[in-house]
Amino acid sequence: MGLPVRHKTFGAGIVEDVEKTRIIIEFETKGQKTLQHPRSIIDGLLQFEDAAIKDRFGQNDRIRKEIDELKGQRKKAEEEIYQQNTESLINQSSRELSQTQAKPGAQERIQPKQYMKRD
C-alpha cells in the first residue's frame, strides 16, 4: 500500500496491508505491528499523513458525529412519545373509572364492606 501514517505511541510508519478488521504497518522504530481497523483510526491512535486521506477520514468523523447526534434526538423523541402515550393512557383510564363510578348503583359495587366489631 505504501501510505505514510503516524501512531501516537509507535511514531511514523508505512501501511503494508489493510484487511477487513486489521491494518498492518511497518513502523520506523518499532517494526511491524498489526492494529485493529478502523478502531485505531476512530480512537485517534493512528493518523494518515496524506492530506486527501485525512480529509476523507475527517468527513467520516463529521458524518459519524451527525449520526450520533441524530440518534440522540431520536432517543429523546421516543422518550417524549412514550411519556405522552403513558399520560394519555392514565387520563383515559381515569375518565373511564369516573364514568363507571358515576353510573347508578356503581357506588354500592365499588365501596368496601363495613364490618362491625363484636364485643
Q: What is the tens place of the pLDDT at every residue in 86-116?
A: 888 888 888 887 777 666 655 555 555 555 5
* Number of structural domains found in the chain: 1
Asked whether residue 98 is domain-assigned, the answer is: no
Asked whether residue 101 is domain-assigned, the answer is: no
Q: What pLDDT score does 80 carry?
A: 92
Measured between alpha carbons, how far is 89 from 82 in angstroms, rounded to an integer? 11
Q: Which three cell numbers stand for residue 48?
A: 494518515
Q: Do 21 and 41 meet the contact criterion of CB atoms below 8 Å apart?
A: no
Q: What pLDDT score does 95 carry?
A: 82
Asked whether residue 46 is domain-assigned, the answer is: yes
> Residues 96, 100, 102, 103: what is their CA dihedral angle, to the nearest 10 degrees?
140
Q: What pLDDT score does 11 carry?
A: 93
Domain range enclosing 30: 4-92
- Please list the ranges in the chain whose pLDDT falls under 50: none
Q: What pLDDT score does 118 carry?
A: 59
Q: Where are the alpha helices (DSSP H) in the chain?
A: 39-42, 51-102, 106-110
Asked whether residue 117 is domain-assigned, the answer is: no
Amino acid at position 83, single letter? Q
Q: What pLDDT score does 51 carry?
A: 73
pTM of the model: 0.45
Q: Do 58 and 52 meet the contact criterion of CB atoms below 8 Å apart?
A: no
Q: What pLDDT score does 103 carry?
A: 63
Which residue has 505514510 as its cell numbers? 4
- Considering the chain, what is the average pLDDT of its residues? 81
- Beta bridge partner(s), residue 15: 25
